[in-house]
Amino acid sequence: MTEHNTNVMQSEPEDVTFIDIVWGQFKKNRMAYAAMWLVVILFLLAVYAPLIASERPFIWQDAEGTYFPWFSSLFDHNYYENGVDKFFNLLLILGTPLFVVWWLMLRAAQKSGMEKRLRRQKIRKFSFVMIIGFLVVFLGVILTQSGQVNRHNFETYEEAKAAGKAVSAIFPPIAYNYSKQSLEEKLQQPNAKHIMGTDRKGRDVAVRILFGTRISLSVGVIAVGIYVTIGIFLGAFAGFFRGRVDMLIQRVIEIFMSVPTLIVLLVMISFIEKPSIFHIMVVIGLFRWTGVARLVRGEFYRLRNLDFVTSAIALGYSNRRIIFQHILPNALGPVLVAATFGVAAAILLESSLSFLGLGDISVPSWGQTLSAGYKTGEWYLILIPGIAIFITVTLLNLIGEGLRDALDPKMRK
């Protein structure tokens, strides 16, 4: 990898990094490239879900005045109960302008004619500050859960009209909440009012599928984030220090590998008194790191003997610097591939869990809806969530394959 890098550097005036090469290679794989954009669209759907479906109107005007219930609902503890929704709502409100600012910065930097390397550094710094800032605000939102109760009782538009009230309101296209049950409307086939029908408790399936995107994506990303972190650390230590450290970590890996993840997940989640979606993420994260650790360990074994590491050691750099700044960046390729496949696997695990009825029942997980389909035998309840899971998993696997091929020097044309 490094050799390749230097060759290119000599032949071209502007430095082309390894990432540029991989990215160019990835783009050539049209299926994977399309899949990547489709996942971006899925992510955007997850972020902007409240714009599409919310029980609260954007604007509500009646005799008492004008209200904007949709905005106040976004961080209302009673309306969006779990942290996942709050995170995505914050992305919707704060992330959108931040992204626009970031984009403008990028454009400005590109036009400024700055040297490419410096430009990258600057952008990296700026993005880092932005992400940290965002997370700080998110923590603030979580910690200061105001739990405000809406003074105003917003009936649905139809009800208010039927009561003969003089109200005007603008609702999102689907005016339902994913957790609102109505027993009169249970198990309705897809119709004009509920475009994907309703489940056994009369909840609108379309809204549940839409908000389920949030759950699936966040379970995948966070669980994988946890285990990639653990795996990188342990794998790096084992591969770098070798000897006893390696022996010890190898044994730990063996122990964790021999425990079947799905079964442990089932057991732990059902034994935890009130399992939340975060428990599921953490348990997946704690039991799936072995693959990444082995990958990283192998890469470290290979890279450790290369000249650039020897020279870094000769220069007297600290172990930390050698591990994280010199070797690790070169070992991340396979990890990225494994992580992409891992996100798909984590989504599957979570949906199997909620399919069995053991997950967090307060979140609109796809597996839960599918389980309703299994119990009732209704085709729309089986196919809609099943296809949602299938599409997401397929897209992620496609990206993973594309990345693997792009990182493989043998496949380069």
CA distance 364 to 89: 16
Residues 85 to 104 in contact with other proteins, rule: CB under 8 A? none
Compute the least distance from the CB of residue 221 to other proteins, in Å. 18
Q: What residues from 251 to 310 belong to the interface with other proteins (CB under 8 A)?
A: 251, 254-264, 266-268, 270-273
For 34, what's the count of Cα atoms within 13 Å in the CB-facing half-sphere? 5
Q: Is 227 in the site for other proteins (CB under 8 A)?
A: no
- Helix spans in 29-115 (H): 30-47, 49-52, 69-74, 83-90, 96-111
Least separation in angstroms between residue 41's CB and other proteins is 18
> Which window, 36-44, 112-120, 140-148, 354-362, contacts other proteins (CB under 8 A)?
354-362
**Burial of residue 351, with CB atoms counted within 10 A of its CB: 0-12 exposed, 13-18 middle, 19 or more buried:** buried
Q: Are 231 and 299 in contact (CB under 8 A)?
A: no
Instruction: State the nearest-atom distance from the C-beta of 255 to other proteins, in Å.
Output: 5
Give the phi and the psi of residue 242 in degrees, each rounded to 5: 55, -160
Q: How many residues of this chain interact with other proteins, rule: CB under 8 A?
A: 42
- 3-state DSSP assignment of residue 200: coil
Whichever of 12 and 273 has its CB closer to other proteins, that residue is 273
Residue 397 sits in the site that holds other proteins (CB under 8 A): yes
Other C-beta atoms lying within 10 Å of the C-beta of residue 271: 8
3-state secondary structure of 59: strand
- Token code pair at residue 266: 């089932």
Q: Choose which of 213, 216, 351, 369 interacts with other proteins (CB under 8 A).
A: 351
> Counting contacts by CB under 8 A, is residue 219 touching other proteins?
no
Q: Report the residue from 228, 332, 393, 406 that binds other proteins according to the rule CB under 8 A.
A: 393
Binding of residue 389 to other proteins (CB under 8 A): yes
> Does 34 interact with other proteins (rule: CB under 8 A)?
no
For 164, phi then psi, to 5°, come to 80, 25
Range in contact with other proteins (rule: CB under 8 A) among 62-70, 151-159, 199-207, 249-257: 249-257
| CA-wise closest residue to 80 among 193, 384, 71, 133 | 71
Residues that bind other proteins (CB under 8 A): 251, 254-264, 266-268, 270-273, 344, 348, 351-352, 355-356, 358, 367, 370, 373-374, 377, 379, 382-383, 386, 389-390, 393-394, 397-398, 401
